[in-house]
Structure 1
Amino acid sequence: MAYARSRMLCAAARLGVADALGDEVRGVDFLAESCQADADALYRLLRALASIGVTEETSPEHFRLTPFGKPLRRDVPDSVWAAVIFWADLLADEWSLLTDCVRTGKPAAQIRDPRIPSRWSQDPGADSIFHAVMGTAPVEDYASIAEAWDFSRAKVVADLGGGGGSLILAVLGLNPHLRGLLVDLEPSVDAARSGFAQEDPALRCELIAADLMQAVPPGADVYILKHVLHGRRDAEAITILKNCRAVIPQNGSLLIVEFILPSLVSHADPQLESHLMSDLNMLAVTGGRERSEREWRVLLESAGFVLTEVYPVGTDAPMVRNVGILEAKPAKE
């Protein structure tokens, strides 16, 4: 029944319950009209939400939002509305097919009955929700990655698949001598552009639209891939790595920032559980996978790289918790 809370939160987010409540105490009839919901059914949802601290029933059939529930509103700075929809609705649709994904080794998109469209394909806001959830952490959350590797001898650093640009800005902010490249698909680059202020270090960063499966832009001596390859099957990951190998200088460095799975899972571990859940998420949603150090080494060697070092990254920031930096160098030709 662990899924029940996520479905409750998802229903509240989809109906706009938190937005309808705002900062006021509201009656069920008012909320039902605002949310276009059945009053009795909505009351039952609000009552259940109160039991987990999202709402509070102040008098019979009158509710207000608690401080804990406030982030469900769309109009607050720390809104989690998009994240709730993303994880508890759009991706839960893929997870519902996990049994068949395990049986076949294929992602949900390849085994779903083609007559039944996915929730993702039916939601016109799916792409904007994705971009709101992924790659939008503040620059300071990426400081631990920027500090974990020595960029002092680098000249130009390229963040491949860098999303909103927080990681490259963190690296540039700590290394005033560097220039940067933010590389991603055109929609992501366009979305990131508005967040780049006309001041250092953003002025030292060039934004480039590119498909990494086709080619990687030249011009850097350090290339970073953060949480890009875990979403890819081995063959696709090798293609991207080979495209990196084609442009990286012989003395350059490739930094892969990813979870690194242990070779053996011998006991219960809550932190490791999140990585293994991510692995199953890749299985169901993208066809990719989380990998162990040995698997990363084999993948890199297949693309003409040598794994030279693994650097731990210590941080409590949710977007980069428990990742490592795999440093690779071009293999000698």
Structure 2
Amino acid sequence: MTTTLAQKNMEAKKKVFGMIQAFWESQCLYVATRLDIFNILSEGSQSIETLAEKTATKAEKLYVILRALGHLGVLEEQPGKIFAATEVSDLLVTNAEPSIGHFAMHIIEPAQWDAWKELETCLHTGEVPFERANGKTVYEFTRDEDWSGDVFIKAMSFLTDHAVDALLDVFDFSRFGTVMDVGGGQGGLISKIVKRFGCKGMLFDLPYVTETAPAYIQKQGVAADAVQIVTGDVFEGLPTGADAIVMKYFLSSWKDEDALTILRHCREALPKHGKVVLLQCIVPDLGEPTVCPDGIIPSLFATQIMVAVPGGAWRTQKEYERLFTASGFQLENVVHTGTNLSALEFGLVD
């Protein structure tokens, strides 16, 4: 059947309405997560009155938000204003392991929201929207604000848990005697690598970031002596002793000049046979798929990075290759996974 001009126009309007409503959806999701709604419903169905009592909110106003989440398929609304959990809401539970609920709270928290309000102005001034809105960098903010810092670390741990199992099924780390995770946070990635492949591990990050790492690594069932925790500043240098350096979603936080400094320190820290394994979501070039298998849209995440950090950006594969080539590396292997994560393996050029 031929699509009429009116039908095409209506489809275009639906797309625009969807984009307009997207921030309403995210705010409803954020509020419900902050109120522990998904944690409460994981214990069983609840009436709106009970949910309001447990969250110290007004039942009639809370209902409006939860009804919307019901229409979006996040919750199930039953007769009598009873709400029940769904497969979607189960993913958003935040009182157990790091979850996508932590990631949602990190990305949608007021400090991030305020940053997006400054995007238009900063396109003219060249400022970092997050810094203009909050008076400090995102890293300083998460260091200084206890709740935000805790949510940020758990959000990053979730991203690791979400993507790494698929990676480890297709990328072999057993070739390396010691693997160092640069910017590795609590140690989720290096714990999985060590446990899966039997190699030694090193975790490198800022001191305040790694504070919870020993307990977290032990909780993963990894022996205390299997992962060496080293703290420091990546711009001052990296420790030696690793055969491979892994960076997950890390290099994308820095502008090209800073990324080149980091890669120079990687080169200085590695032996001649050493490798850098860049674990990253790759922004597609023209003609390539624009949505990852797990639903992440790299170009939108690239915009979020630009909003949050100075000069940071998710890059295309060609852009990463140019940075590594300028730093004395060459691309040797590319492995894609079933999520948003790809592994780009670089070796040193003699």
TM-score scaled to structure 2, two decimals?
0.77
Q: Using the alignment, how far apart are the partners of 2:251 and 2:329 within structure 1?
A: 17
Task: Work out the CA distance in 2 between the residues paired with 1:139 and 1:16.
Answer: 22
Q: Residues 141 and 27 of structure 1: is their aligned pair in 2 closer, same or farther, counting only changes over 3 Å?
A: closer
Paired with 2:113 and 2:172, the residues of 1 have a C-alpha distance of 39
- Deviation digits for residues 61-98 of structure 1, max 9, x if unmatched? x3222234344444355754322211223433323333
Q: Which runs of 5+ in 2 are unaligned?
A: 1-20
> Normalized per residue, which structure has more helix?
2
Contact 1:222–1:253 under 8 Å retained in 2: yes
User: Any idea what the Cα deviations from partners look like across 1:233-254, whole Å, max 9, x if unmatched?
Assistant: 1122122112222222233222
For 1:284, the equivalent position in structure 2 comes to: 307
Identity %: 22
Does residue 293 in structure 1 map to residue 317 in structure 2?
A: yes
1:86 equivalent to 2:110? Answer no
TM superposition shift of 1:101: 3.7
**Corresponding residue number in structure 2 for 1:309:** 332
Q: Match for residue 325 of structure 1?
A: 344
Distance 1:255 1:313 in 2: 13
The Cα offsets for residues 139-180 of structure 1, whole Å up to 9 and x where unpaired, read as: 69524544655545533221111223233233333433x322
Judge conservation of contact 1:106–1:283 (CA < 8 Å) in 2.
no
Residues 290, 297 of structure 2: 8 Å contact kept? no
8 Å CA contact retained: 1:283, 1:289: yes
Give the superposition deviation at 1:188.
2.9
Q: Relative to 1, partners in 2 of residues 1:112 and 1:25: Cα closer, same or farther, differing over 3 Å?
A: closer
User: Per the alignment, in what secondary structure is the counterpart of residue 188 of structure 1?
Assistant: coil
Equivalents in 2 of 1:72, 1:140: separation in Å? Answer: 13
SS in structure 2 at match of 1:159: strand
Unaligned runs of 5+ residues in structure 1 are none
SS of residue paired to 1:309:
strand
Alpha-carbon RMSD: 3.3
44-53 or 134-143, larger mean C-alpha shift: 134-143
Separation of aligned partners in 2, 1:7 and 1:59: 25
Q: Which 4+ stretches in 1 moved above 6 angstroms?
A: none
Indicate conservation of the 8 Å contact 2:178/2:242, yes or no.
Answer: yes
Q: Are the aligned partners of 1:140 and 1:170 in contact in 2 as well (CA < 8 Å)?
A: no
Question: Is this contact kept in 2: 1:160–1:182, CA < 8 A?
Answer: yes
Partner of 2:218: 197
TM-score (norm 1): 0.81
Match of 2:230 among 205, 208, 223: 208
Question: How many residues are aligned here?
Answer: 320
2:58 matches 1:38: yes
The question of 1:98 aligning with 2:122 is answered no
Aligned with 1:188 (options 201, 209, 226): 209
